[in-house]
Amino acid sequence: MTTQPAGMAPLSTEKKTFYCHVMELLEAAGIPFLVGGTYAWGHYTGAERTTKDFDLFLKESDLPQARAIFETAGYRTELPFTHWIAKVYDGDCFVDLIFNSGNGICAVDDQWFRFAQPGQLFGKPVLLCPVEEIIWQKSFIMERERYDGGDVAHLLRARGDQLDWWRLLCRFNDNWRVLLSHLILFGFIYPSERNKVPLEVLQKLLNRFYRDLQPGSPIEPTCRGPLLSRAQYVIDVEHWGYQDPRIEPSGPLTEQQLAEWNQAMVADTHVVIPFPSFSPDVESARPAEEPNRSTA
């Protein structure tokens, strides 16, 4: 990566100074962090695009110390969602401190750092989020207004033949169908690049899929849709009686954390709600049908 990644919106001196200072403060305190977001994605794919923020990944256990350091340095911090992200502000500039994912199932742990890749940013050596973990997190982002499947496809195209596939399979674990869906789409998007996904990986996932088709023990009614979109499956868990896989004990979030996350949904996220039944009053208010003019 170059000092200023080509093709990205030029950074103001103010932003660049702020981003560098945030990293320097973490380094001085001995707090490990990884660069993610557009910078890491661009490094792995060779693609270029603009970005409006700067994403740093760290472990949740290091977050309190990091916030204290930034506030001592005169920056404002906040924890808008206690289960996955904090922010550091310098006026209108901000840095995201990410320690999990919005659905709560992709926590930043030691493996992120063990398999981190070296890179260069703003003339400084940095560690980048591993491509496997980026794929893992992005695979679950399927909101109506944001879908990261394209990012996943570009990562598979660029790095598929270098991935630690068995570690990636372990990351998805019981959510392997999400990975399989992206791999199938990848073969559709890039038919000439299908060999980037090892045949044994597809065979393993398809074998699981075929086994699941066999009659088995009944399971509790669960909708895993909220792991992919917090807005589009509200109706399932709030009105149709499905269990929410994000909530304890089946998931990592508390009721309070989920309430915080849902409360931030804005009106234009197209939350799906039950369609109201027509009442007799509504029916009677409909205009009468006009006579058939052809027979009049």
Same domain, 145 and 200: yes
Same domain, 36 and 92: yes
Q: Using pLDDT thresholds of 50, 70 and 90, give the confidence band for residue 268.
A: very low
Q: Using pLDDT thresholds of 50, 70 and 90, give the confidence band for residue 1.
A: very low
Number of domains the chain is built from: 3
Residue 221 has a pLDDT of 80
Which two three-digit tokens encode residue 175? 């959510």
CATH at 41: 3.30.460.40
Q: Using pLDDT thresholds of 50, 70 and 90, give the confidence band for residue 280.
A: very low
Q: Is residue 277 situated within a structural domain?
A: no
For residues 12 and 108, the model is more confident at 108
Q: Is residue 59 situated within a structural domain?
A: yes
- Best CA proximity match to 97, nearest among 58, 62, 65, 130: 58
Q: Is residue 278 situated within a structural domain?
A: no
Residue 159: CA atoms inside 13 Å, Cβ hemisphere, count?
23
CA distance 84 to 263: 15
- Name residues whose C-beta falls within 8 Å of residue 39's C-beta, 6 or more positions apart in sequence: 1, 5, 51, 54, 55, 119, 121, 128
Q: Is residue 21 situated within a structural domain?
A: yes
- Best CA proximity match to 225, nearest among 144, 290, 170: 144
| Displacement of CA 280 from its chain's centroid (Å) | 45
For residue 4, the enclosing domain spans 1-129
| Residues composing the chain | 296
Same domain, 118 and 7: yes
What is the average per-residue pLDDT within 93-110?
Answer: 97
Q: Using pLDDT thresholds of 50, 70 and 90, give the confidence band for residue 276.
A: low
Same domain, 19 and 82: yes
Q: Is residue 69 situated within a structural domain?
A: yes
Instruction: Kindly tell me if the per-residue pLDDT of 47 is higher than 80.
Output: yes
- Mean pLDDT is lowest, of 6-20, 121-135, 256-270, 273-287, for 273-287
For residues 221 and 293, the model is more confident at 221
Same domain, 15 and 97: yes
CA distance 75 to 69: 9
Same domain, 92 and 177: no
Residue 108: CA atoms inside 13 Å, Cβ hemisphere, count?
28
Of all residues in the chain, what percent carry a pLDDT higher than 70? 85
Q: Using pLDDT thresholds of 50, 70 and 90, give the confidence band for residue 266.
A: low
Q: Using pLDDT thresholds of 50, 70 and 90, give the confidence band for residue 165.
A: very high
Same domain, 101 and 156: no
Same domain, 53 and 115: yes
- The chain-wide mean pLDDT, for the chain, equals 87
Residue 248 has a pLDDT of 87
Same domain, 165 and 87: no
Same domain, 17 and 60: yes
Same domain, 113 and 145: no
What is the average per-residue pLDDT within 210-228?
Answer: 83
The pTM of the whole model exceeds 0.85:
yes
Q: Is residue 9 situated within a structural domain?
A: yes
Residue 67 has a pLDDT of 98
Same domain, 118 and 20: yes
3-state class of 77 per DSSP? strand
For residues 216 and 6, the model is more confident at 216
Of all residues in the chain, what percent carry a pLDDT higher than 90? 72
**pLDDT 10s digits, 167-179:** 999 999 999 999 9
Can you give the three-state secondary structure of 122-166, one letter per residue?
CCEEEEECCHHHHHHHHCCCECCCCECHHHHHHHHHHHHHHCCHH
Residue 9 has a pLDDT of 56
